[in-house]
Structure 1
């Protein structure tokens, strides 16, 4: 009798274990394959690392949309323009939504302009558009300290921006022209990405910054919202339903 009772108990327990085990395996292997990638642009844009991540997102078929989470005061001309170029390429292939955090100014806004939509907070600091070049000259200081430099160079401009001297008149004119040409390129990229800003972009051409609420009035951003709002919009534009996609940090995702 005891053996029969044990068998009956085991007969009940074993199917439950199998069902629970099968359920566990089923859940594990049905994790959403579709992903919304988050590209964190944090700090100075002074290399091509963000551009490279955007390029990788183009090639990965599981990445269905990308959110640019931006907290940056800008960056170098080459770093900014290359990142904007790569994000523009990405936006032609997949939905890209920009999420402006505390600060998204100068080159960081140029990059954001390549997105399909831009979300900002009420008090996000943005705009701050323009180009600046700096040459720190210690020539008088070196003279006072009796420090002398002996330079051998292959061209007149080879030591441009060197701290042991200041710019010549020709160099001063050349650098100013260079800065102005970069400024033209900067505004061309913004207005090509966002034609709706063309009539109001002059408002911030003095390099001033504005809050997100003002940026909305100037058509510099599209919505006042937070990070999750941007993620939901990215998923919506990619045709992804809630629970059918996973959010991933692109830096960690591609490193792994």
Structure 2
């Protein structure tokens, strides 16, 4: 009985793998015969950068693809992937435009700061320029229910956020420095990429959110427009038919991967609109 069950599971897994391989081969075998744009979506909480970075690499390899459009609807997410996407856009050899569609806050803003041009809806929620690091202090609960966790560590600050004894003044200072240093990177990236004086950026980089219209006044975006108009404008500038575009969306497997990443993320530094 158990043997039959394992054989059935093996066949199911084998068929799933073969299906994915066929889909990938089919996708890669599609030949582009006319100048085109590429479109990729940045949606949900950011746990990884591969979707955007790999799409950008594909665009740069294909001479028929003239530029990449990133359509954003995200509250932000983990620091490292946001910084990775920002770096990839800064080093892009082809035009990359970004459009803020509904929500483009914190890490989603950081990720796309280096885009050649940024458009937004007037009512889009953006901003939330800041860093968040949160944990739960369960010390009182542990005492009430009579639980004690035994920890062996190499240094007294090794389990700053995992200790049931609380954070302590020194621990808080260490984490404050960590958060502030990461926040300064964000502020610096805005100043450099959007050509806004550093002191001006500091006046609004305090976690507040603002609309797309206000973001335009602050210099964080280039125009308030619809997505259709923005895509047409990019196509016109690059001499491409706006109907010729390649679109990459997250597959069901990507969504599962995001859920698993979120489940195992634990305590992380986040550029997140919370």
Give distance in 2, aligned partners of 1:223 and 1:74. Answer: 21
The answer as to whether partners of 1:67 and 1:97 remain within 8 angstroms in 2 is yes
Q: Do structure 1's residue 235 and structure 2's residue 235 form an aligned pair?
A: yes
Q: Is the 8 A contact 1:72 1:105 kept in 2?
A: yes
CA-to-partner distance for each residue in 1:112-139, whole Å, 9 max, x for gaps? 2111111111101111111121121111
Q: Compared with structure 1, are the counterparts of its residues 237 and 169 closer, same or farther at alpha carbon in structure 2 (3 Å cutoff)? A: same
From 80, 84, 87, the counterpart of 1:85: 87
Deviation per residue, 1:187-239 (Å, 9 max, x gap): 11111111046564234222111111111111111111122222223223323
The residue aligned with 2:187 is 187
Structure 1 gaps of 5+ residues are 1-28
Q: Normalization by structure 2: what TM-score? A: 0.73
Compute the displacement of 1:84 (Å): 0.8
- Tell me how far apart the structure 2 counterparts of residues 30 and 174 of structure 1 sit (CA, whole Å): 53
The 1:58–1:143 alpha-carbon spacing in structure 2 relative to 1, beyond 3 Å, is: farther
The change in CA–CA distance for 1:222 and 1:234 in structure 2 (over 3 A counts) is: same
Distance 1:135 1:252 in 2: 30
Q: Distance in 2 between matches of 1:171 and 1:217?
A: 39
Equivalent residues in 2 for 1:18-29, closer than 5 Å: none
Q: CA deviation at 1:69?
A: 0.3
Spell out the pairing of 1:1-256 with structure 2 (5 A cutoff). Answer: 32-49=33-50, 50-90=52-92, 93-162=93-162, 164-196=164-196, 198=198, 200-240=200-240, 242=241, 246-251=244-249
Partners of 2:62 and 2:248 in 1: CA distance: 11
Given the superposition, is the C-alpha separation of residues 117 and 136 from structure 1 closer, same or farther in structure 2, using an over 3 Å criterion?
same
How many residues align? The count is: 222
Provide the aligned C-alpha RMSD in A: 2.5
CA displacement 1:156-186 (0-9 Å, x = unmatched): 3332321634223222111101111111110
Deviation (angstroms), 1:51 = 3.0
SS at match of 2:153: coil
Q: TM-score, normalised on structure 1?
A: 0.78
- Structure 2 contact 85–112 (Cα < 8 Å) conserved: no
Describe the SS at the equivalent of 1:75.
strand
Match of 2:129, SS state, is coil
Structure 2 distance, partners of 1:103, 1:44, is 11
Gaps of 5+ in 2: 1-29, 254-274
Larger Rg: 1
| SS of aligned partner of 2:91 | helix
Judged with a 3 Å threshold, the aligned counterparts in structure 2 of structure 1 residues 141 and 104 are, in CA distance, closer, same or farther, namely same
Q: Deviation of residue 110 (structure 1)?
A: 1.3
Q: 1:154 to 1:59 in 2, by over 3 A?
A: farther
Q: Distance in 1 between matches of 2:161 and 2:248?
A: 36
